[in-house]
Amino acid sequence: MKEKVRVASGQGFWGDLLSAPIDQVRGGQIDYLMLDYLAEVTMSIVQKQKQRDPKAGYARDFIALMREILPDCVEKNIKVLSNAGGVNVEGCADAVKDVANELGLQGKVKIGMVTGDDILHRLEEFLAQGVEINNMDTGESLQTILDKVQSANVYLGAQPLVEALGKGAQIIVGGRLTDTGLTLAPLMHEFGWTFEDWDKVATGTIAGHIIECGAQCSG
């Protein structure tokens, strides 16, 4: 078990500077790199992109970044956790695999996928089961605007990320993952914490909140 784990936050939104995570990987002596791309409006954007092109729907910046840093990550054994998958996690993971192959790293990178957050296709099912999904301000049922809904996602926390790390994944791609989970998962994995270790989980969650939007924590 490690005495300390260094987690770097390299992206705070889709379109953030790529120079930050590149510098972190090449000069930061880090163990993990977490990358956050998704805001609420971003989810509707990637969903529209996927509707136009089934192969789209994820943060393309992530693929450009992987092309720059993947060799360094493999050499230094830096693990990457990201929500860059948007609404097409499998497509994003496939794109990372293509980059690995292009760089001659096939067989050297284990890519993990975390799915299950996208529930757009299940909204009608939930309503039919009597699940109440109402506007918090007006009380109106989701049924009244169902045909206009562009995206519907639930947040997934640290648990599936911890499982992926436990299975040896080096690059983990997910969709709507909690910002804090991207930081908490490496700590739980490395230190052997469980979800019953409330104080430790709280500590890791606070660390995630502090660094979740990249360089903003430095003022």
Q: Residue by residue, what is the 3-state secondary structure of 92-146? A: HHHHHHHHHHHCCCCCCCCEEEECCCECHHHHHHHHHCCCCCECCCCCCEHHHHH
User: Residues 163-180: what's their mean pLDDT?
Assistant: 97
pLDDT tens per residue across span 193-209: 999 999 999 999 999 99
The residue extents of the domains of the chain are: 7-118+154-218, 120-152
Q: Nearest Cα to 178, choosing from 154, 200, 199, 197?
A: 154
Cβ–Cβ under 8 Å, residues 214 and 20:
yes
Predicted pLDDT of residue 134: 95
pLDDT tens per residue across span 8-32: 999 988 888 999 999 999 998 999 9
d(CA 103, CA 70): 8
% of the chain at pLDDT higher than 90 = 84
